[in-house]
Amino acid sequence: MTGIVDCDVHPAPVSSQVLDDFLPFGWRDRRQLAQYLPQQWQRYREALGDRSYMGAEYPRPTPRAARGDSWPGNGGPPGSDLGLLREQLLDAWQIDYGVMNPLLGAGEQLNLEYGGALCHAINDWQREVWTSPEPRLHASVCVPFEDAGLSVAEIRRVAADEAFCQVLVHCRTQEPLGRRKYWPIYEAAVEYRLPVAIHFGGWGGHPPTPAGFPSFYIEDTFSMAAAFAAQLTSLVFEGVLERFPGLRFVLIESGLTWLPGYFARLDRSWRLLHDEVAHVSRTPSEQVRAQVAVTTQPFDEPGPPSRLADFFAKLGMDDRVLFSTDYPHWDFESPGHGPLRLLDPVRKQRIMRDNAMEWFRFGNRAHG
Amino acid sequence: MIDADVHAVITDSGVLAPYLERQWVEYMSISQFRGPTDNSYPPSAATSLRPDAVGMPPVTVTQLTDAVFTGDVEAAVLSCSYAVDSVHNPNAADALARAVNRWLADEWLGVDPRLYGTVLVTPQSPADAVRQIEEATGNGRFVQVALPVRSLSPYGLRGYWPIFEAAAAAGLAVALHFGGSPGLAPTSTGWPTYYAEEYVDMASSFQVQLASIVLSGLFSRLPALRLVAAEAGTSWVPGMTWRLDRLWRALRREVPWVTSPPSEYLREHVRFTMQPFDAGPSGPEPDMVLYSSDYPHWHGEDLGQRWLASLDDSGQAAVLRGNAAGWYGIPR
């Protein structure tokens, strides 16, 4: 099929120095200062710059968790070469729109100010290196999401540019995303009519599972669904979805087969414990279905292909499921393989293209 | 019928005094430590107490047996979720766990032969937990060991294996039980605001614990190990097993000792108590479910009973008695 929208593409800088050129004035100033003071800024970035939570090593199944054939000839990592990305993804699969989710750790910097500077750099880099030369690609507003003030400032700085189609946060945060400290980010997202994407990964300083540190990468990745579930629970029970009716979320790389069972438990618990969360007036699963979209990759298949239609009927999110490949990662899902190609044509058209076109208002993006 | 999940509740640690060495009675008296506080069942939450359970907790033996042994119920598996896992003094935690087990044996199991016991252990100190299991099983009336589903580390970690080995050696099932107070946030994204969130998200703790145990290879080491997911619900089981099987197919080189899809191990080694029933219309597979009332906790309109009524005779017989009789070795 043609005209596909891919809601999860991962660009990478060719080298760690690339982003330096895009650092905002304050930090660039420090680098200039470093010419006079003994290399303070270079030292910060090289010796101290990317300081995040430590102590959770789960080696991936492939180098940089990437497809073996996605290493470009430019000496950089997978996802760092526009030519190869066009060849392997946009042209190969006739993708009209691709949503980039740069996973460069900016949101989980312990030094929040530095995290903000890094987001600033990443956003300018997306624009200059990716979306300007390749209009099929769209950017995410990277924000230092643990600091709402810095995040709002960054949204305001770039969101009017239609190259940006969503605000990006990570799934494992310091606090559940419904907590009040994050609300200014949502207000800004609503103001600019941008969905907030919650992407697989990140680290807010808590163990990767609610029962502590697991042993294996397979558990680390398995338990990400639990983090997504906790975020949805928080967004519903804190009343965020009701408080901001224009607010929309996208779950990226969350998997989706856990959702129907989760909805049953969520609604049942809301009825049982309603006194405590009396401010939540609408059935939780209805709120999620109205305001949350979910991407397809990795498609954690609900049994044999014959059960697919039954599963989607149970999910009840036909207009909220968005196709994604996760290029260039090891578990890339091509539009031409996998169980989604077996969907009926109507559903397939919605998932592969129409839902995302509406969700991101591609081709119809006058702000305000 | 066998009721696989009923509760003795301690609200006054004074009941344990006869079962504590003098040192610990003094320790608690001097510090005015009234025993661990645990908010897994907030006193006024709708899920904590049945509307007809007036004046409780505490629950007396008579109150409990009058409420539980109605109709065809002829046996019940009793546990006490006393939060020894939150006590960081290992000697105090050990003393409290052993005291609770003696109290259960003397004042509950010894009073009514229809009650079968659950050993309370200190998961944070596995070596002590092994001794707690050995001491309690001398009594002959305990049929399972309980581990709170929230823990400092996932239970598949080798440090916990001696607990499972001791349980298997004694022929006891191991229940992963709703709740726990290890001091960590109940989600991997921090502390939620509402109990309602904790309640929903507890299902995730069950999932990561079961994933940890199956991926650790423990079931290959202890082929006779029987687990119970107590008060876990079952709504999440299909999604969890699809996701885990799929990841295992893609990543199994990391865990080569897991030679079959994880769902196959779980089907063989895990059963689920019926309450709180949270499944959608299709419901769980009857072979996997142990009837339970979860007395004195409450689950609102009884979807579980409705599901039971929808089963055929053999399904009902399995849920109401057969599954638990086999799993716990409870004779007729």
Whether B50 contacts chain A with CB within 8 A: no
Question: What pLDDT is recorded for position A113?
Answer: 86
Distance CA A4, CA B17 (A): 70
DSSP state of A131: I
Buried b (16+ CB within 10 A) or exposed e, A275-289: ebbeebeeebbebbb
At residue A321, φ and ψ (nearest 5 deg) are -100, 125
A367 has pLDDT over 90 = no
In this structure, are residues B119 and B136 in contact, taking their beta carbons and an 8 Å threshold? yes
For tokens 């400092």, the residue is B152
In this structure, are residues A250 and A293 in contact, taking their beta carbons and an 8 Å threshold? yes
Q: What would the pLDDT profile of A100-135 be if each residue is shown by its tens digit? A: 999 988 899 998 988 888 888 889 999 999 999 999
A366 has pLDDT over 90 = no
Question: Which of A352-356, A363-367, B8-12, B179-183 has the least mean pLDDT?
Answer: A363-367
Whether A176 contacts chain B with CB within 8 A: yes
Please name which of A348, A295, A345 lies closest in space to residue A320, comparing C-alpha atoms. Answer: A295
Residue A25 binned pLDDT confidence (cut-offs 50, 70, 90): low
B24 has pLDDT over 70 = yes
Contact B188 A260 (CB under 8 A): no
SS3 B177: strand
C-alpha A153: how far from chain center: 19
Distance from CA of B236 to the nearest CA of A (A): 5
Whether A218 contacts chain B with CB within 8 A: yes
Please name which of A169, A175, A151 lies closest in space to residue A233, comparing C-alpha atoms. Answer: A175
Distance from CA of A202 to the nearest CA of B (A): 10
Helices assigned H by DSSP within A136-222: 148-158, 183-191, 217-222
For tokens 């091509």, the residue is A334
Tokens of A321: 């499921």
At residue A292, φ and ψ (nearest 5 deg) are -125, 130
Q: What would the pLDDT profile of B50-79 be if each residue is shown by its tens digit? A: 766 655 566 789 989 999 999 999 999 999
Higher pLDDT, A41 or B160: B160
Task: Please tell me which of the candidates B192, B205, B250 has its beta carbon nearest to residue A176.
Answer: B192
Tokens of B258: 């897991």
Whether A310 contacts chain B with CB within 8 A: no
Distance from CA of A298 to the nearest CA of B (A): 9
Question: What pLDDT is recorded for position B57?
Answer: 62
DSSP state of B321: I
Whether A201 contacts chain B with CB within 8 A: no
Chain A residue numbers touching B278 (CB-CB < 8 A): 264-265, 268-269
Contact B151 A212 (CB under 8 A): yes
Residue of A272, A288, A332 for testing the chain B interface, max B β-carbons within 10 Å: A272
Whether B139 contacts chain A with CB within 8 A: no
Question: Which of A60-64, B33-37, B197-201 has the least mean pLDDT?
Answer: B33-37
| Closest CA in chain B for residue A180 | B193
Whether B17 contacts chain A with CB within 8 A: no
C-alpha B230: how far from chain center: 5
Distance CA A363, CA B45 (A): 50
Q: What pairs with residue B153 in β-bridges? A: none
Contact A262 B199 (CB under 8 A): no
Distance CA B87, CA B85 (A): 6
What's the rounded mean pLDDT across residues B175-181? 96
Residue A30 binned pLDDT confidence (cut-offs 50, 70, 90): very low
Mean pLDDT of chain B: 93
A46 has pLDDT over 70 = no
Distance CA B257, CA A253 (A): 27
Cβ burial of B139 (10 Å; 0-12, 13-18, 19+) is middle
Chain B residue numbers touching A208 (CB-CB < 8 A): 188
Cβ burial of B236 (10 Å; 0-12, 13-18, 19+) is buried
Distance CA A137, CA A8 (A): 11
Distance CA B152, CA B148 (A): 10
Q: Which of residues 52-81 of A touch B (CB under 8 A)?
A: 61
For residues A330, A335, A337, A338, the Cα torsion angle rounded to the nearest 10 degrees is 80
List, as one string, the DSSP characters of A211-254: TB--SSHHHHHHTHHHHHHHHHHHHHHTTHHHH-TT--EEEES-
Residue of A177, A216, A330 for testing the chain B interface, max B β-carbons within 10 Å: A216
Distance from CA of A268 to the nearest CA of B (A): 7
Please name which of B161, B118, B108 lies closest in space to residue B142, comparing C-alpha atoms. Answer: B118
Q: What would the pLDDT profile of B222-240 be if each residue is shown by its tens digit? A: 999 999 999 999 999 999 9
In this structure, are residues A88 and A70 in contact, taking their beta carbons and an 8 Å threshold? yes
A35 has pLDDT over 50 = no
Contact A230 B243 (CB under 8 A): no
Distance from CA of B38 to the nearest CA of A (A): 17
Residue A22 binned pLDDT confidence (cut-offs 50, 70, 90): confident
Give the helix/strand (H/E) hosting A34: helix A25-36
For residues B290, B296, B297, B298, the Cα torsion angle rounded to the nearest 10 degrees is 90
SS3 B7: strand
**Largest alpha-carbon pair distance within chain B?**
58
Cα atoms found within 13 Å of the Cα of residue B152, Cβ hemisphere only: 13
In this structure, are residues A37 and A133 in contact, taking their beta carbons and an 8 Å threshold? no
Residue A14 binned pLDDT confidence (cut-offs 50, 70, 90): confident
Chain B residue numbers touching A260 (CB-CB < 8 A): 239, 280
Distance CA A198, CA A167 (A): 9
Whether A8 contacts chain B with CB within 8 A: no
Distance CA A284, CA A268 (A): 9
Provide the residue count of chain B.
Answer: 332
Please name which of B311, B297, B324, B295 lies closest in space to residue B75, comparing C-alpha atoms. Answer: B324
Question: What pLDDT is recorded for position A52?
Answer: 87
Whether B265 contacts chain A with CB within 8 A: no
Give the pairing of strands A292-295 and A196-199.
unpaired
Whether A87 contacts chain B with CB within 8 A: no
Whether A204 contacts chain B with CB within 8 A: yes
Distance from CA of A275 to the nearest CA of B (A): 8
What's the rounded mean pLDDT across residues A312-317? 95
Chain B residue numbers touching A261 (CB-CB < 8 A): 235-240, 279-280
Buried b (16+ CB within 10 A) or exposed e, A106-139: bbbbebbebbbbbbbbbbbbbbebbbeebebbbb
In this structure, are residues A296 and A333 in contact, taking their beta carbons and an 8 Å threshold? yes
Give the helix/strand (H/E) hosting B63: helix B61-68
DSSP state of A94: T
At residue B109, φ and ψ (nearest 5 deg) are -65, -35
DSSP state of B209: H
Q: What would the pLDDT profile of B243-291 be if each residue is shown by its tens digit? A: 999 999 999 999 999 999 999 999 999 999 999 999 877 789 999 999 9
